[in-house]
Amino acid sequence: MKKIARAHTNIALIKYWGKQNAALRIPLMSSLSMTLDAFYTDTYLEPSQQEQFYLNGKLIEGPEAQRVFNYLHLLQRRYGKSGNLSVHSQNHVPTAAGLASSSSAFAALAAAFAEYYQLAVNETELSRMARLGSGSASRSVFGGFAVWQKGTDDQSSFAYSLDSNPDLDLQLLAVEINTGAKKRSSTKGMQAAQTSPFFAPWIKRNSLELSQMINAIKNHDFTRIGQLAELNASEMHAVNLTAQPGFTYFEPTTIGVIQLVHEMRQNGIEVYYTIDAGPNVKLLCQLKNVKIVKEKLVSAFDHVKIINASFGPGIQYLDN
């Protein structure tokens, strides 16, 4: 019996937001992430008469399934394999988290493919394989902090582990604002962002902030990590606002949470935000402040849901 591949989602503290090669998902900038313990995807493959994709026990059809099949075909061509497969995935990413699951989904799928065909691939190769499904998935191969080095081609673009088990008090609070499907996919958003006059400066800033973030992590400097993550996310969203035509993933409550973060810091509560391609906000704080930050959010916003996470592991294989 083949094992189940488990991959955790990751959140970028230094963002990937632009491609140099869309087909191979080679980015214009390197990025850095934190893998999260609370959210993961379990996947295994089986031989099948027809291609099928089951997510949480439900047969999925349409573009979502097609993306999975196209990805498997790509890997089959690469590794000289053939045959119809059925994909069984269980997503342990609560909808309330408002966290994208494509990072864990494609990292788990890449690992499940390697397991199914018993490929002798190391983590670097697995990261390259995952990258072809979704860029951010390249980082979910690793636990703790991972860096995806942009590279210049398929061979040189992969993630590596910066610190698989960081000795750092860093808590993430995922704040749900809207869990509906996003209006503009990440793929389309990062393409549109390239029309911003700030796109070229953004790439330069990203590279500088990545090296500063690596230093901050090596120094276990929570404050600097938080400051850099917030700055980098704000720059990504500034690029979206200044695209031609401009767009934003923010909703009014997104701004409300940003303002509350500013206010909390003015009042001595150390908390920072980061935001991806959607309206939901992820807050970074230390364990001692989790309770007060949650209380402030709940009292400022009706019905806001908050999920706590910290560092998660890299790819795991479990008995089916």
How many Å apart are CA 27 and CA 159, to the nearest integer?
12
Closer of 242 and 270 to ligand 2P0 (Cβ): 242
Q: Please give the residue whose beta carbon sits closest to ligand 2P0 in the complex.
A: 135
For residue 172, what is the DSSP state?
Answer: E
For ligand 2P0, the closer of residues 235 and 270 by Cβ is: 235
- Residue 316 — φ and ψ, nearest 5°? -130, 150
| Nearest residue (CB) to ligand 2P0, 139 versus 296 | 139
Task: Pick one of 102, 127, 196, 254: the residue that binds ligand 2P0 (CB under 6 A).
Answer: 102
Would you call 56 helix, strand, or coil by DSSP?
A: coil
Nearer to ligand 2P0, 12 or 28 (CB): 12
Phi, psi of 158 (to 5 degrees): -160, 165
Question: Which one of 8-16, 61-69, 73-81, 255-263 is the stretch in contact with ligand 2P0 (CB under 6 A)?
Answer: 8-16
Residue 15 in the binding site for ligand 2P0 (CB under 6 A): yes
Which C-beta is closer to ligand 2P0: that of 43 or that of 102? Answer: 102
Instruction: State how far the Cα of 190 lies from the Cα of 146, in Å rounded to an integer.
Output: 21
Among positions 175, 277, 283, 293, the unique one binding ligand 2P0 when judged by CB under 6 A = 277
Binding letters toward ligand 2P0, positions 187-226, x by CB under 6 A: x---------------------------------------
Task: Using CB under 6 A, pick the residue from 127, 186, 240, 289 that binds ligand 2P0.
Answer: 186
Q: Which residues contact 28 (CB under 8 A, 6 or more apart)?
A: 18, 19, 20, 150, 203
Interface residue with ligand 2P0 among 18, 98, 135, 143 (CB under 6 A) is 135
Query: Which stretch, 14-22, 34-42, 68-76, 302-310, contacts ligand 2P0 (CB under 6 A)?
Result: 14-22
The answer to whether 308 contacts ligand 2P0 (rule: CB under 6 A) is no
| Interaction of residue 232 with ligand 2P0, rule CB under 6 A | no
Q: Quickly count: other Cβ atoms within 10 Å of residue 291's Cβ.
A: 9
Task: By CB under 6 A, tell whether 161 contacts ligand 2P0.
Answer: no
What is the distance in angstroms between the CA of the first residue and the CA of the last residue of the chain? 7
With a CB cutoff of 8 Å and minimum separation 6, the contacts of 246 are 240
Separation CA 181–CA 266 (nearest Å): 34
Other CB atoms closer than 10 Å to residue 253's CB: what's the count?
A: 19
Q: Select from 276, 279, 281, 307 the one that contacts ligand 2P0 (CB under 6 A).
A: 276
Residue 31 as a binder of ligand 2P0 (CB under 6 A): the answer is yes
Q: Which residue bears the tokens 């590596």?
A: 160
Nearer Cβ to ligand 2P0, position 282 or 296? Answer: 282
Q: How many CB atoms lie within 10 A of CB 261?
A: 23
How are strands ordered across the β-sheet holding 305-309?
A: 271-275, 281-285, 171-176, 305-309
Interaction of residue 115 with ligand 2P0, rule CB under 6 A: no
Number of H helices, E strands in the chain: 8, 14
Min CB(137)–ligand 2P0 separation in Å: 6
Least distance to ligand 2P0, CB of residue 266, Å: 27
CA distance 56 to 152: 37
> Which positions lie near ligand 2P0, rule CB under 6 A?
12, 15-17, 25, 31, 100, 102, 134-136, 186-187, 276-277
